[in-house]
Amino acid sequence: MQVGEKIRNDGALRSQGSQPFARNRSPFVTRLLPESGATVARLAVLAGGKDRLLSVREAAEQLGLCTATVYGLCAEGALPHIRILNAIRIAPADLVAFVEARRVGTARSD
């Protein structure tokens, strides 16, 4: 064998062709979700909307801050938040109230 020559066969047995997977008879999602239309509608509401909880990254983008600052505000208790396991979520209404409470230069009518 010479330098640069490729080894064409190393002696290992290999199958000649690949065989396709068996076709899935039904979509995966339909097996998980119940047939009820009410359940599907309820899940659609949870997926989004005006009251959807914001992630720290989304809240930071809206405030124009870095995520570390938002995490700090949550740790101090200055920004109301919800902790779900290891994730922090912020309600849009709480974010608006946080901004309004810190607005400077406007006369408040209490």
Tell me if 41 sits within 8 A of 33, measured CB to CB. Answer: no
Q: Report pLDDT digits (tens) over 23-48.
A: 656 555 555 555 556 655 655 555 55
Contacts of 44 (CB under 8 A, 6+ apart): none
**Which pLDDT does position 78 carry in this prediction?**
95
Domain limits of the chain?
A: 51-105
Q: Which CATH fold topology does 51-105 show?
A: Multidrug-efflux Transporter Regulator; Chain: A; Domain 2 (1.10.1660)
**Strands, sheet with 87-90, edge to edge from the N-terminal-most edge strand:** 54-55, 87-90, 82-84
**Which pLDDT does position 101 carry in this prediction?**
93
Q: Report pLDDT digits (tens) over 74-97.
A: 999 999 999 999 999 999 999 999
DSSP class per residue in 27-89: -HHHHHS-S-HHHHHHHHHHH-STTPPEEHHHHHHHHT--HHHHHHHHHHTSS--EEETTEEE
Contacts of 36 (CB under 8 A, 6+ apart): none
pTM listed for this prediction: 0.52
Percent of the chain surpassing pLDDT 70: 49
Residue carrying the six token digits 């599907």: 40
